[in-house]
Amino acid sequence: MSVTRSVVLGSGSYLPKRVLTNAELAAQVATSDEWIVQRTGIRQRHIAADGELTMDMGLAAAKAALDHAGIDAQSIDLIVLATSTPDNTFPATAVSIQAALGIHHGAAFDLQAVCSGFVFGLATVDGMLRTGGFKRALVIGAEAFSRILDWNDRTTCVLFGDGAGALVLEAQQQPGTREDRGILTSHLRSDGRHKSKLYVDGGVSSTGTVGHLRMEGREVFKFAVAAITDVIEDAFRATGYTAQDIDWFVPHQANKRIIDGAAHKLGIAPEKVVSTVDLHGNTSAASIPLAISVAVQDGRIKRGDLVLLEAMGGGFTWGAALVRW
């Protein structure tokens, strides 16, 4: 029996021009290239220029994904932007992107699940495409995390970067087997008991300010590997696939040690792991589509490949998806 699946038509990304190296950071706060590389795997990150907005980065990634898919923006009827760093409190940054693309139909909205935002966005769009209300969607992750960092706090400012990535998805009829193209399964979790371990100390209804990112890094780290492997095992159970069946593992890029730890625990071979954390740092909701874009462009991810995505972040939130390209 045929089923509707959300099939990936194209991917794209954008990185701001300015590259901030570990050596430059070491000149500003008490850190070193050696500490950052050893503890995180990060060597550099990109930083948005003054006046460069989340909307600008998301728009550039969206245009690149539309070009890659070879489709016209007018055929898009749904835009979901995952971000924790919107241009304004409202309206949603997604509507700015929608307007800049010249789209005056369909729906556009922002979704906030911090570093898990892209997986939450994919799952949301998948549901909306499969129920038939929409035909073609852009799922974008775009972040200007440099604007919410405390640049005097070495425990956080070395970890994050700016950027954007996007996927174009289309509702397509597929045979209804696990060999189908498209999103095969997605699993989302959150547990607000951990909300004070990774948060921003400002907000509209509390302080009336934007605030700065605060994190108990070690606590997040401890939770991450167990949570990630748990939700991925749910994805395996739902499809009958195992770690051996995966062609590419594209995790949220927070820390090389978390990525390697999760891959090892799950039995995913190191050569199947797509890692961009060294070049991009942690770009929160943008990290997965940025990494996908790199691996599609360099020819690793190809049509028919089985791709495993996962993320974990503030809330805590976490999730995983299995997608056949």
Which sign does the torsion angle of CA 235, 10, 108, 97 carry?
positive
**Which pair of structure tokens corresponds to residue 270?**
């190191």
Residue at shortest CB range from ligand UT7: 217
From the CB of 152, what's the least distance to ligand UT7, in Å? Answer: 12
**Which pair of structure tokens corresponds to residue 230?**
């748990």
Q: Which is nearer to ligand UT7, 161 or 182 (CB)?
A: 161
Task: Kindly tell me the burial class for residue 13, based on how many C-beta atoms sit within 10 Å of its own C-beta (0-12, 13-18, 19 or more).
Answer: buried
Q: Which is nearer to ligand UT7, 134 or 316 (CB)?
A: 316
Alpha-carbon gap, residue 230 to 318, rounded angstroms? 10
Give me the catalytic one of 22, 68, 115, 187: 115
Q: Which is nearer to ligand UT7, 78 or 312 (CB)?
A: 312
From the CB of 42, what's the least distance to ligand UT7, in Å? Answer: 9
* Residues at the site binding ligand UT7, with contacts judged by CB under 6 A: 31, 35-36, 39-40, 115, 154-155, 158, 217-218, 220-221, 224, 254-255, 258, 282, 312-313
From the CB of 316, what's the least distance to ligand UT7, in Å? Answer: 9
Q: Which is nearer to ligand UT7, 11 or 255 (CB)?
A: 255
Contact 141, 118 (CB under 8 A): yes
Give me the catalytic one of 212, 252, 255, 280: 252
157 a catalytic residue: no
104 a catalytic residue: no
282 a catalytic residue: yes
- Which residue pairs, CB below 8 angstroms and at least 24 apart, start in 220-223? 220/316, 221/255, 221/257, 221/258, 223/194, 223/197, 223/312, 223/316
Q: Residue 116 to residues 312, 313, 325: CA-CA distances in angstroms? A: 5, 6, 20
Give me the catalytic one of 46, 212, 280, 282: 282
Sheet holding 107-111, edge to edge: 3-14, 162-174, 136-144, 78-82, 107-111
Q: Which is nearer to ligand UT7, 36 or 288 (CB)?
A: 36
**Which pair of structure tokens corresponds to residue 285?**
């909701």
Contacting residues for 107 by C-beta, under 8 A, at least 6 apart: 77, 78, 79, 134
Helical pair 256-266 and 217-239, crossing angle rounded to 10 deg: 30
From the CB of 225, what's the least distance to ligand UT7, in Å? Answer: 10
Give catalytic residue positions. 115, 252, 282
